[in-house]
Amino acid sequence: MTAVGPDTRPHDAGLDPDGTLPARRRAPLGRLLRSELRWIFRRPRTLVVLALLAALPVITGIAVDLTLDGSAPTGPTGTGGPGPGGSGPGEGPPIFVTMASSAFVLPLGSLMTLLILLLPLTVAMSSGDALAGEQSTGALRGWLLAPVARGRLLLVKAVGVLVVALAAATLVATSGLVTGLVLSGTDGLVSMSGTQFSVADVLLRLAIAVAWATVYLMAVGAVALAISASTEHPMLVVVSVLGGLIVSGVLLQISALDWLHPYLLPTSLASLADLIRDPLALDGLAEGAFRSLCYLVIGMSLAYARLTTRDG
């Protein structure tokens, strides 16, 4: 019987010169991000939702213009009601009534309204598809075989959700502004106090609104990612996020729970109306941004902890 000698296979047969297995190279982060964004914006449901978000301000502007056309202005904003000052943020005439005479109010009003439900729904849907959806179809295993560390995987998914949030908020603001300019012209760039805005002022305030809305939506997305990392059912993510927002909205209407309101994410949505006032007040927006950042940190921490400790 012939004795078995030492292994004489060449070193290029899957081994390093020292006889060890070669280390697997990490997939480049830029390539992962491009792949994720291509995958997101090729989903038909993502494109349908974004198209719907772009169309809603147009529909709203036309409906308000037809409804309030010819109404006699009796107040300082041409709404037939009291002045917009009120005693605090969010008070004054209804914001959609002011849309009839201000091209600047339409994008802000549309953004405020859609932030209540439809924009968070878009972000929750994207977050559910990011982890739970891909795990249910087995696509998430391919990421780990690339190889991609779980922390990098979460970063790529979070960037994808961020891009969706930014694109959705920008679409709403842009569509609303264009519709307002078509219906009212540049003479309609007025504040709720009757002050005439320049185009530069309007663009600056809209940029602030879009940035604030993106931070708010990313806070919702972080919570959705934490839920998405704990389940294989993307619809459960959507239902949980929307249920939480609806319950928060109900709790905000109960005056006996005033002590709880500062901890609820939708508390500062009405602060977006401060951007339509002159002079500009940023206290409410700053408080809302800080609250959203707290939710963002907590949500991403929970998602990272769950993703790095789970099996499979």
pLDDT at 73: 46
pLDDT at 230: 87
Question: pTM here?
Answer: 0.81
How would DSSP label each residue in 165-195?
HHHHHHHHHHHHHHHHHHHH-GGG-B-TTSP
pLDDT at 185: 74
Site of tokens 């609303």? 176
What is d(CA 73, CA 60) in angstroms, rounded to the nearest whole number? 20
pLDDT at 22: 46
The residues that bridge with 7 in the sheet, in sequence order, are none
Which residue stretches of the chain have pLDDT < 50?
A: 1-16, 19-23, 72-93
The answer to whether 150 and 208 are in contact (CB under 8 A) is no
pLDDT at 291: 96
pLDDT at 132: 81
> Please, what is the angle between helix 150-184 and helix 199-228, to 10°?
150
pLDDT at 90: 39
